[in-house]
Structure 1
């Protein structure tokens, strides 16, 4: 990905050296946008948000004549100011960035919008961020995946007998992810292979000892494969009028769920064991999900190499999202609880993002997506449908209904945050410009 960005820069500018601030070639700005755009998409930003950011950046560099079109896998920039108008095409990689990379990119863009450095400086800064190594080595990264598995297990299925299983599966799946993601051929089949191995192992070795639902035991360990974030962004794009981007991302998320469900169904079929059982009676108390959220926060921090000083802010975002969702469950019921959760959590996260010592808003929003989105619920529903279980269709429909509710809540929360922020900014300006007595 770094090579393609560098080649795009050289092909458009003809040089690789920095450009003086006094005379910035127009093509340098286009090339810079072609590097920034894919980085924002890889930071799990919706296409409408990426378009808005690129237009603001173009305006900051005096290029109001540029037209920007963003799709999940490609960015088109039409240069209408040139003598012969042309359209530059930039491919976007499907590899998601770590949290520390997303943080560095957002901070770099803040500086670019504030002081407008040379476009080549912005481009080289993005490339250094993308090619950077994780903050933590493989032992801490693996520990992060284990904590994520246990944490989501406490939120989704908090039973005492399941806790050691979550630890074991977290180690197994984390190791598979860390090794398989480095092999290109295996990485394409990783969801199917991992789901198959986990389902087979749980059905053959663990299921006879622990009388619990195999699907609910397996789902937390596959949290790194669940496309909950993808499905939520798709719903946001669809409700924002980004039809092509939202539809393509939605299809990708459904296909990802299908691959996981196929691997799980294949593992259950080979094992020849039923996937469901009588409910267990060793559920932990109401405190378990809150402990799970704390573990998820630490797991994200380690597994995604979150930036320094962001752990408490990640915990703040997750607690705000979960508490708001519980409030929504009381006020409007489980189906619409995600709407209340997003509508309340998003303004709280934007408010925290305005604190100088706080983590970037994108980091906190990304973490809250994972908790608000019922990705595990969709995975269980699709798997039950593949297994012929009763009520699976209703579960799937409830999942997509929840996704739409969350998307609408996020849009309302984001709009409220922007309007309040704009009002506060204008109020400060009017006070500073008012004549003194």
Structure 2
């Protein structure tokens, strides 16, 4: 292989891995997918080392390496494009040059709902989380209103580095200030639970569980760094709540873990539908794929509730829910090849992860240290159970993925359709070539 061809191959694999990392996938899964793509291109012994912020790729040990950094996150529709390129490459139906061209313009894909996707998506997600987490009319109305404040902050964060850095603090402060202020006027009950739904999309629960998953899989550096970053984000949100409490002079008796429950069984069911549609609007997912996301979310919640019904504790429900999310996402991909498993899995994962419970538990420490510490320990057990469930579910789903890749003609047809699409003009390469010797 010539030097130029080797550079292009490394760049392709590096861009592929960076796209998967930007979608939030654990580093050990990214390394496996990059190695699989490399094997399809005729490079069995590649060296790849991934971290949450980038990865190195070398075609052989001691050879030159290419580094590609992760330049922010990607939407679910963009992540679906990356996984589709991976599928077409491993199926031998996409030319490497065309794959490189598609990955080059990945971030240029326009949002499917540019005008209303963010505000309406956050409105539905906030309202849906309130229906699931704090089912009371006052909490639902509060979430609907404050979600637009969070939407405004998110729009502003794209223009201001300071706002982007302090986003968890600012959003939590705004939501807590409004919740405790409304509680003083008698408009809201259980303000500590009420303030969570509008800022649920900003809480780092999924990040923390992904870090634990990576640690369990042996990716020590990546897992530790994700945990540290997630803990910092949660601390910023907690400080925002504390700053609002101090600014209003709220009595500590108001900071309690009493959860409202005024609405019937219909509330969480409607909330799940709102969350699925809201995520689709926020993440630019086509409407035709919403039913697939909803199926995975429902299966996750049903498994979670069955585990809780056994009386063994919330940890069993969290474990079973995580297993169901992995398995059903794989089955959804088998039936609907246009829905990559990671795209079907992530919304269920976000709903399953108790980032909101972590914020409530940490905030309780200020008013009742003993109760807060106990609640935080319970959340830690749930997070570990979710991480183990993700690992077990992924292990159980692996044979299904292998069968789907070998036997599913529909999946190959989708890959062929992708391969036949005209490629767009690639961007200027950002990979850096560096000698490993």
TM-score, length of structure 2 as denominator length? 0.86
Query: Residues of 2 paired with 1:125 and 1:68: CA distance?
Result: 22
Q: Match of 1:256, SS?
A: helix
| Higher RCO, Cα 8 Å, sep 6+ | 2
Displacement, 1:281?
7.0
Task: Work out which of the residue numbers 134, 139, 147 in structure 2 matches 1:162.
Answer: 139
RMSD between aligned residues: 2.4
Q: Tell me whether 318-327 or 114-123 shows the greater mean CA deviation.
A: 114-123
Q: Match of 1:182, SS?
A: coil
Number of the residue aligned with 1:128: 105
Are 2:13 and 1:33 equivalent residues in the alignment?
yes
Q: Provide closer, same or farther for how the CA distance between residues 188 and 158 of structure 1 changes in structure 2, counting only shifts above 3 A.
A: same
Question: 1:58-104 deviations in whole A, cap 9, x for unaligned?
Answer: 111111232111111121223436xx6233322222x2211111112
* 8 Å Cα contact 1:146/1:170 also seen in 2: yes
- Give the alignment of 1:166-315 within 5 angstroms: 166-274=143-251, 275-276=254-255, 283-315=262-294
Q: Provide closer, same or farther for how the CA distance between residues 345 and 281 of structure 1 changes in structure 2, counting only shifts above 3 A.
A: closer
Which ranges in structure 2 are unaligned for 5 or more consecutive residues? 410-437
Task: Work out which of the residue numbers 292, 300, 309 in structure 2 matches 1:330.
Answer: 309
Query: Residues of 1 paired with 2:170 and 2:408: CA distance?
Result: 56
Number of the residue aligned with 1:6: none
* 8 Å Cα contact 1:265/1:387 also seen in 2: no
Are 2:67 and 1:89 equivalent residues in the alignment?
yes
Query: Residues of 2 paired with 1:213 and 1:326: CA distance?
Result: 24
* 8 Å Cα contact 1:230/1:249 also seen in 2: yes
Are 2:320 and 1:320 equivalent residues in the alignment?
no
* 8 Å Cα contact 1:211/1:278 also seen in 2: no
- Give the alignment of 1:333-352 within 5 angstroms: 333-352=313-332
Q: Provide closer, same or farther for how the CA distance between residues 353 and 117 of structure 1 changes in structure 2, counting only shifts above 3 A.
A: closer
Query: Residues of 1 paired with 2:324 and 2:95: CA distance?
Result: 39
Are 2:124 and 1:144 equivalent residues in the alignment?
no
* 8 Å Cα contact 1:338/1:402 also seen in 2: yes
* 8 Å Cα contact 1:140/1:302 also seen in 2: yes
Query: Residues of 2 paired with 1:280 and 1:46: CA distance?
Result: 33
Are 2:389 and 1:409 equivalent residues in the alignment?
yes
Task: Work out which of the residue numbers 20, 30, 33 in structure 2 matches 1:53.
Answer: 33
Query: Residues of 1 paired with 2:261 and 2:129: CA distance?
Result: 17
Displacement, 1:201?
2.4
* 8 Å Cα contact 2:169/2:240 also seen in 1: yes
Displacement, 1:376?
0.5
Question: 1:176-215 deviations in whole A, cap 9, x for unaligned?
Answer: 2122233223211111112112222222245422352222
Which ranges in structure 1 are unaligned for 5 or more consecutive residues? 1-11, 15-24, 430-437
Displacement, 1:286?
2.1
Displacement, 1:239?
1.2
Q: Provide closer, same or farther for how the CA distance between residues 425 and 132 of structure 1 changes in structure 2, counting only shifts above 3 A.
A: closer
Displacement, 1:241?
1.1
Displacement, 1:370?
0.8
Query: Residues of 1 paired with 2:408 and 2:16: CA distance?
Result: 31
Q: Tell me whether 420-429 or 379-388 shows the greater mean CA deviation.
A: 420-429
Query: Residues of 1 paired with 2:54 and 2:401: CA distance?
Result: 31
Segments ≥4 residues shifted beyond 6 Å: 423-429
Q: Provide closer, same or farther for how the CA distance between residues 168 and 73 of structure 1 changes in structure 2, counting only shifts above 3 A.
A: same
Q: Provide closer, same or farther for how the CA distance between residues 77 and 96 of structure 1 changes in structure 2, counting only shifts above 3 A.
A: same
Query: Residues of 2 paired with 1:39 and 1:139: CA distance?
Result: 25
Q: Provide closer, same or farther for how the CA distance between residues 59 and 145 of structure 1 changes in structure 2, counting only shifts above 3 A.
A: same
Number of the residue aligned with 1:21: none
Q: Provide closer, same or farther for how the CA distance between residues 420 and 304 of structure 1 changes in structure 2, counting only shifts above 3 A.
A: closer
Number of the residue aligned with 1:418: 398
Number of the residue aligned with 2:349: 369
* 8 Å Cα contact 1:313/1:358 also seen in 2: no
Displacement, 1:427?
9.0
Question: 1:335-381 deviations in whole A, cap 9, x for unaligned?
Answer: 22111112233212211111146522111110110111111001111
Number of the residue aligned with 1:355: 335
TM-score, length of structure 1 as denominator length? 0.86
Number of the residue aligned with 1:435: none
Q: Match of 2:14, SS?
A: helix
* 8 Å Cα contact 1:100/1:306 also seen in 2: yes
Question: 1:32-53 deviations in whole A, cap 9, x for unaligned?
Answer: 1111111100111110110000
